[in-house]
Chain A
């Protein structure tokens, strides 16, 4: 197929579908319990240099405990999919975890403003970047999930986003229409937070799924954190709710309030006071270092972090806020 134009951005992951098939051929299909702590899961499945994806949408249904643990364990030189990433990106920047980055959305926390520390890191020249968009990253995961090496899309063409991407312009063999060819991402490791999972990794997600179903299918190793573990009988009682099957999953970690300080659909709203404090304290690097010591480095796990920021009283108010109960709004 003739390439009509191409971007100068580097492609950080190998899009070769046969190499991916060779990996997936050997991935275990055994129905075995995979329950472990977040600490164990990160030790076992997240390595220096790996290309990482984080599920959810920035500060909504994010595996916050895994992001903290990656920073706590000091992972370095990773690649990262900066796709719909906001607070997750902010956490990973605090640990300077990655040095190469596919960008769709970074640095910002939507209506909350921009992260001063993430901006400093991205303006330092320490991170190699390729430009993409939310949808083009989504279709790159989709290509991986489908077991092909690229996927065509009709965005990005004609812009500087294209010029700095790793995309190529091709022509449809049927109509002659120009398309952007987006290379598949087969990531090394991903983490996704879900509402419910059984001990084998069968998962249920409520609310929006963002790109997570394709992220789960295109990644080589998958860590699941779940609000609660449910019996396998419940999964089998009605399999129509299962959106991630167990053979994709390598670790299952029960982490109630695992998206905190992010939002979790029909469970709890985001802790806006804490996120505001985080953005504010980043303005002063010395203060930020103390803040990270308190909230990440000195914490044993996610529950100690929540305890330090209001514990169950805070969680209860966020649960009320999620449902727009009167008390929480006043």
Chain B
């Protein structure tokens, strides 16, 4: 078995979710690394877009910003925020990869604040950026995040970005586009999806070296369990070579 760290495992797991010919909007860091890896392995025709306007770039190295010149390198179009978001809202973008400071059992994300006073927050985070928009519009939202009980919270301090809201049919009733929503949560320990009726988070795969108990202990709410929980496949040597040599040679992301 190849030697790898948890960041490399999460990126490889996320990359395998993307089928050839799909479209995705990504941010910087791990999401971008996963999309680039997919493009260099199982999904050479993956359409990678960036919210600032870059469309179908052949990203040459890790961008620092979703609006820097790497996001339009050999792209088919350099457009703008509305063009990309409208493409998402029209239903032509299959995936988005997001992160966040906190996540709850319905996949709602907080990246706005901690503390009760909105005008004088205890900790101020950046806010939505494009996360709320992408989670509203893209068919499948995938979240990549390390797992601990504070991050996976019973109740998030602020719903910045919609998951399945309060579960059940609450998202459909809100007016958000039908059929889009959280799809999978990829952590250092496991892969989760959402049970189809309650829309609660459910363990479907566990990473090598972890147990169901580890996953539950590092989560602030009760996780559902799929009938059959599989062991997630470790990264292959080919995936790791591409990731380390071509995508992130300076270890900006995989060195974290």
Contacts and interface: CB of A to CB of B under 8 A. Distances in A.
A180 B127 CA distance: 18
Nearest to B62: A111
Contact of B137 (A56, A132, A155, A177): A155
Interface in B113-138: 117-133, 136-137
B170 interface: yes
Interface string B15-30: 0000000000001110
B128 A104 contact: yes
A158 B165 contact: yes
A25 interface: no
Which of B27, B66, B108, B124 has the most C-beta atoms of chain A within 10 angstroms of its own C-beta? B124
Given A104-B128, A155-B133, A180-B175, 11 more contacts: A59-B68, A60-B68, A111-B252, A123-B121, A133-B130, A138-B85, A154-B136, A154-B137, A159-B108, A161-B159, A207-B72
Contacts of A135: 51, 81-82, 85, 130, 133
Interface stretch (A13-21, A38-46, A185-193, A261-269): A261-269
A134 B129 contact: yes
B171 interface: yes
A157 interface: yes
A57 interface: yes
Interface stretch (A71-79, A211-219, A234-242): A211-219
B175 A177 contact: yes
A266 B72 CA distance: 10
Nearest to B108: A159
Interface stretch (B52-60, B194-202, B223-231): B52-60
Contacts of B71: 208
Contact of A60 (B60, B67, B108, B177): B67
Given A133-B130, A158-B165, A208-B67, A213 B80 contact: yes
A211 B82 contact: yes
Interface in B140-176: 158-162, 165, 170-171, 174-176
Contacts of B80: 138, 208-213
Contacts of A112: 64
Cβ-closest 5 pairs across A and B: A178-B175, A57-B67, A208-B53, A158-B174, A125-B120
Place the interface of chain B in its size category: 35 or more
Nearest to B131: A133
A207 B69 contact: yes
A59 B132 contact: no
B81 A111 contact: no
A265 B52 contact: no
Interface in A103-159: 103-108, 110-112, 114, 119, 122-125, 128-129, 131-136, 138-139, 142, 153-159
A225 B61 CA distance: 29
B106 to A, nearest CB: 11
Interface string B63-90: 1111111011000001111100100010
A119 B242 CA distance: 37
A207 to B, nearest CB: 5
A324 interface: yes
Given A208-B79, A210-B80, A324-B61, A157 B68 contact: no
A108 B66 CA distance: 13
Given A123-B123, A159-B132, A84 B171 contact: no
